[in-house]
Structure 1
């Protein structure tokens, strides 16, 4: 037993040797995914171990000769560990003691076979920062001296691991048994009964046009629930109230075949993202997995359903955009340089809209994308999934002579830097982010979590247009009812609905007689499942707002005058609310237009934005402000 760094509390000192060579990322679709260092010839896990001279490691004072050390292998996920030529046996933290200040940076491990067998080979698993320290070298040398128990792995005596993977190994969450089980299920998932149950759940969701599936384990209870988001509504069918043990097995199986995971088996206490690839009736499906260690009612896993097929060239008008929307977007796409930003809440259809914009660009443009992950396969676009930081990928992209680039959703500072860099280059950037409305994009991008400079956003030509959109449940055209049915004598809450109708008339000067509402009884066209919550509905309608910043708007953006910017946008409106001209109209006001066409039930519009009562209060507030200032704002 050896002790390394047990009494030294100072930070590890860098050893006098070169840092390991960085390795290019391997495309996510390729296997194995292990990050091999570039060598001549290239080193692969399936090759024979490299040998030095007579086939044994050449030692200099107990160390491998610096001139003959191979660049370390890199591991990002547990699947990279599984793909190693030598199977994982155990950690050797009991045989070679690592000091407490290094325990989450360095961990000796055993590969290939049990201690004392001829197949046993040892290596040092560590973070990149720790790989060049004296302590890592000392642990490697200590392993090399235990020739009677194992041999030092000549392929890569030091292995660089991601912090999450190393932490999982140190904590004992990665074991030989768990890795073996994962390898078995991944090789033949159809032999597992829980896998069939998972596919049945996903198939049902596809048949109901669900966008998301949520698996909720009820801790300490016999039964748990699977829910679906359909037409924007969270539905919990009774048929998917299943035994908690069954649900746990289903999630374990899904996790076993997932990509990008940090643990070999599903652990409800560890929150992480992953990707699960399935084939349902010949259709390739991607489930974007996001787990949450919630305390009540228990852990949940939410999966977004993505059909991984090439989409036909989508048209904005087919998605629900109106002519004035499309005219503004055409002005943006016909101008060189700058960003088109699409915003909305989760599950608002941003991916399809951005795909329609990219697909509608001229074939003479070179179009590329960096996404996390690729969701829709867009004709004419070179697409790539990015699993880490965008910055490294951009170095390659900048040499690719692209005209247009789709940059996946902006979530953090890395994405923010990539966005700013691309816009400043003068290329056409198409991207998305989560914000409640178009004007809210500026506050979202300038938050500390994204950190795009407000001055940068207020620079002319950096942002060409910002689009906000939402999806709302639409009435079934076969059974929708007149709003007046709510006002008849004897109808429940008839007096309340009369006040509701008068408020709509005051706010929007619309004919209430033209309004249609959802029929709760449904009809043969919309009653296609046992989900009574969906009776009277037929899909969703897209509503949108488009903001083109001019020079005055840029001054308001720079000064962070959010209220002034909203007022300035509303001043652009020149048509009434029953007109399809959407200039100066918000997404809620776009929804009002569709209310006048009988497409949307006004009661379905309010939950997405705010109540019409609240809208009336806001307008009265603006009127008071106008009287106080004498005009909407000082120009």
Structure 2
């Protein structure tokens, strides 16, 4: 009888009554002692690697399971089948194991007495697929943007890490995975890759591709990028949720200030010119662009040209362009461009400008009269023209300085958003009960005074509570306690009709550009900051961002830097 798999009832090792077996050593101490796995006697299907019936000493049987599966209809049904086969259930009859250990048991690789070295490739493949899926599901449930899988031979075991809220964190439930097992997982996962370079996973080569799957009824696309490092392969999987809320319901919800959101929306309404959004890797550029594009009027025809498409945009005709890692000539774009320019569209999204191929496409489209939206990697709005005109991309400076070509330049980064339920008053930094020395408290108080003299209003400013609370500590990751997601910090420039700005871009006078921006920033009203750092301080004033975090993203004058030796307390 096949045991059906469906969404499990959620439990954790801390809340379930089933004992937790943490590692091989704990497995060896189990009484009655573990003898062998019984998985081959039952048709577990997709549950392989999540539930595993086992034989214990004295002819007793028990059920090893992941925490999410230890209770529920599947576990109950498996126990019933075990009794039907004549097995006596031990007391307790169920145990919770971490994924790597359960997989080792299911594959009869735990090294316990009585194990037999039989080869069952179909069952092994199913268990490996289940473990890979559980890794992805953990990331989706905890809001991770990336899943990182490292088979670094310098470490005792493989590493499974995630990017959650901008932090690079480990999920304890996947600790202890062997390098050999991770390589097998990657080989099995690669079988589901589409548009990949290579028929099989090659740990000695760079590879890329996409995997589409459903996680908790949510469509998810994984963008695969593997790096062949000196010490073993490292795979980064960007987790792209395809359900509509992923793009953000509005620019305001992403963190754009009202005046900034209004500027973006005006730019989207005007025909012609390019809106270029810049930021570093993981700064949320694609999410912001998707939000902007979803807000375009229905009477506008929107076409995208992406490498590859990331988020589903319902009102767009999306086109994915597959390019090899060798970077041959721009043939992948040519056929699409010839047709797209004859498709009578109003708006076009070019996924990213990052090399001469996409630079050529940008030049072609930005001068064609359509409204163009794109992204690039740059450290500020001022550096966007410099990036586009670089030797690596090759867009002409004269072209960029032509009025009407660059409609709006946007730079954004993400800062952790304080948990509104437990954030602490700024004065806690120098409070006597905070466990700091007199010198540390004085240093923080003087730092706050300098911020006030610089014009930062601190009446509502708050700092992170590193202990967290019920609202923010659910993931069990210390690095995220006290935070509730991230918020956009941005700066916007409108060079479209700014003759002074365009002339400086043409002459590549970056120092003069910076001085010009500084003068204009001082004249800006507080609710419409011109520079991203000023936007960050506005969020500090509103109690949204910890003031100690501003220094992480921006070069501050010495007087505004956090005091050395007074502890950071926010990492």
Q: Do the two structures share a fold, i.e. TM-score over 0.5?
A: yes
1:568 and 2:555 are equivalent in the alignment:
no
The question of whether the paired residues in 2 share the 8 Å contact of 1:591 and 1:600 is answered with yes
Is 427-436 or 600-609 further displaced after alignment? Answer: 600-609
CA separation of 1:409/1:189 partners in 2, compared to 1, >3 Å: closer, same or farther?
A: farther
Partner of 1:505: 452
Point out where structure 1 has 5 or more consecutive residues left out of the alignment.
1-184, 618-635
Q: Deviations over 1:46-79 (max 9, x none)?
A: xxxxxxxxxxxxxxxxxxxxxxxxxxxxxxxxxx
Structure-to-structure mapping, 1:402-551, within 5 angstroms: 402-489=345-432, 491-492=436-437, 493-507=440-454, 509-549=455-495, 550-551=498-499
> Which one of 589, 592, 601 corresponds to residue 546 of structure 2?
601
Q: Deviations over 1:128-186 (max 9, x none)?
A: xxxxxxxxxxxxxxxxxxxxxxxxxxxxxxxxxxxxxxxxxxxxxxxxxxxxxxxxx9x
> Which one of 373, 386, 391 corresponds to residue 308 of structure 2?
373
CA separation of 1:275/1:189 partners in 2, compared to 1, >3 Å: closer, same or farther?
A: farther
Q: Deviations over 1:277-318 (max 9, x none)?
A: 22212222111111112225x421111100123458832222
Partner of 1:112: none
Query: What is the CA distance between 1:574 and its match in structure 2?
Result: 5.5
- 1:301 counterpart SS class: strand
The question of whether the paired residues in 2 share the 8 Å contact of 1:313 and 1:379 is answered with no
The question of whether the paired residues in 1 share the 8 Å contact of 2:521 and 2:531 is answered with no
Partner of 2:236: 302
Q: Residues of 2 paired with 1:209 and 1:595: CA distance?
A: 24
Is 552-561 or 244-253 further displaced after alignment? Answer: 244-253
CA separation of 1:496/1:192 partners in 2, compared to 1, >3 Å: closer, same or farther?
A: same
Is 353-362 or 195-204 further displaced after alignment? Answer: 353-362
Partner of 1:135: none
Structure-to-structure mapping, 1:51-450, within 5 angstroms: 192-219=126-153, 221-241=155-175, 242-296=177-231, 298-311=232-245, 314-388=249-323, 389-450=332-393
Query: What is the CA distance between 1:323 and its match in structure 2?
Result: 2.1
CA separation of 1:612/1:304 partners in 2, compared to 1, >3 Å: closer, same or farther?
A: farther
Q: Residues of 2 paired with 1:393 and 1:235: CA distance?
A: 40
Q: Deviations over 1:5-53 (max 9, x none)?
A: xxxxxxxxxxxxxxxxxxxxxxxxxxxxxxxxxxxxxxxxxxxxxxxxx
Partner of 1:553: 501
- 2:229 counterpart SS class: coil
Point out where structure 2 has 5 or more consecutive residues left out of the alignment.
1-120, 324-331, 563-571
Query: What is the CA distance between 1:611 and its match in structure 2?
Result: 4.4
Query: What is the CA distance between 1:264 and its match in structure 2?
Result: 2.3
Is 333-342 or 565-574 further displaced after alignment? Answer: 565-574
Query: What is the CA distance between 1:610 and its match in structure 2?
Result: 3.0
Q: Residues of 2 paired with 1:292 and 1:499: CA distance?
A: 47
Q: Deviations over 1:391-427 (max 9, x none)?
A: 3210110110111001111111110000100011111
Q: Deviations over 1:590-625 (max 9, x none)?
A: 0110000111002222212234538789xxxxxxxx
Q: Residues of 2 paired with 1:192 and 1:213: CA distance?
A: 20
Q: Residues of 1 paired with 2:501 and 2:450: CA distance?
A: 32
- 2:404 counterpart SS class: coil
The question of whether the paired residues in 2 share the 8 Å contact of 1:504 and 1:612 is answered with no
- 2:158 counterpart SS class: strand
Q: Deviations over 1:358-390 (max 9, x none)?
A: 122221111111111111111321111111332
The question of whether the paired residues in 1 share the 8 Å contact of 2:242 and 2:311 is answered with yes
Query: What is the CA distance between 1:199 and its match in structure 2?
Result: 0.6
Is 232-241 or 472-481 further displaced after alignment? Answer: 232-241
The question of whether the paired residues in 1 share the 8 Å contact of 2:197 and 2:208 is answered with no
> Which one of 566, 570, 591 corresponds to residue 536 of structure 2?
591
CA separation of 1:266/1:191 partners in 2, compared to 1, >3 Å: closer, same or farther?
A: closer
- For the aligned residue pairs, the C-alpha RMSD in angstroms reads 2.3
> What TM-score do the two structures reach when normalised by structure 2?
0.71
Partner of 2:23: none
Is 334-343 or 233-242 further displaced after alignment? Answer: 233-242
CA separation of 1:615/1:427 partners in 2, compared to 1, >3 Å: closer, same or farther?
A: farther
1:581 and 2:515 are equivalent in the alignment:
no
Query: What is the CA distance between 1:222 and its match in structure 2?
Result: 3.8
Q: Residues of 2 paired with 1:604 and 1:253: CA distance?
A: 41
The question of whether the paired residues in 2 share the 8 Å contact of 1:480 and 1:518 is answered with yes
CA separation of 1:595/1:601 partners in 2, compared to 1, >3 Å: closer, same or farther?
A: same
Q: Residues of 1 paired with 2:528 and 2:155: CA distance?
A: 54
Asked which structure has the greater CA Rg, the reply is 1
Q: Deviations over 1:79-137 (max 9, x none)?
A: xxxxxxxxxxxxxxxxxxxxxxxxxxxxxxxxxxxxxxxxxxxxxxxxxxxxxxxxxxx
The question of whether the paired residues in 2 share the 8 Å contact of 1:368 and 1:406 is answered with yes
- 2:392 counterpart SS class: coil
Query: What is the CA distance between 1:571 and its match in structure 2?
Result: 2.2
Query: What is the CA distance between 1:272 and its match in structure 2?
Result: 2.2
Q: Residues of 2 paired with 1:427 and 1:189: CA distance?
A: 54
The question of whether the paired residues in 1 share the 8 Å contact of 2:447 and 2:560 is answered with no
Q: Residues of 2 paired with 1:441 and 1:190: CA distance?
A: 50
